[in-house]
Structure 1
Amino acid sequence: MPQMSPMNWVLLFIMFSIIFLVINANNYFMLKYTPLFTKKSLMKNKINWKW
């Protein structure tokens, strides 16, 4: 197995970390997350509490 200097390992780690972050950012921003509850339904539930 060829030897690598510590700086090469650091650059390799930084490169893979950046690629990982870019892929995760793309997945996060490409998918549209719709909220399950709208504000009106939340207000309706607050009014209907029976104590």
Structure 2
Amino acid sequence: MPQMAPINWTSLYLLFIMLFLMMIILNYFTFTYMPKYKTSQIKISSIFWKW
């Protein structure tokens, strides 16, 4: 293995980096998040302070 040319090591390194980044990008764009609540309604309740 150490007798391999350095250009071969760098090309393999770049190949694996590009594959890794491609998998990260594909996972990011194919992930679908289904929210629990379809509409976010804020409930305003009146608070009666007992002063």
TM-score interval (norm. to shorter): 0.5 to 0.7
Distance (whole Å) between structure 2 residues aligned to residue 2 and residue 13 of structure 1: 15
Structure 1 gaps of 5+ residues are none
Structure 2 gaps of 5+ residues are 45-51
Matched, 1:7 2:24: no
- The structure with the largest helix share of the pair is 1
- Give the CA RMSD over aligned residues: 2.4
Identity %: 43
- Give the structure-2-normalised TM-score: 0.60
- Structure with higher Rg: it is 2
In the alignment, residue 26 of structure 1 is paired with which amino acid? L
The alignment covers a number of residue pairs equal to 46
Summarize deviations over 1:1-50 as a string: whole Å, max 9, x none: 461111000000000000000000010000024678xxx55xx4xx8xxx
Distance (whole Å) between structure 1 residues aligned to residue 35 and residue 4 of structure 2: 48
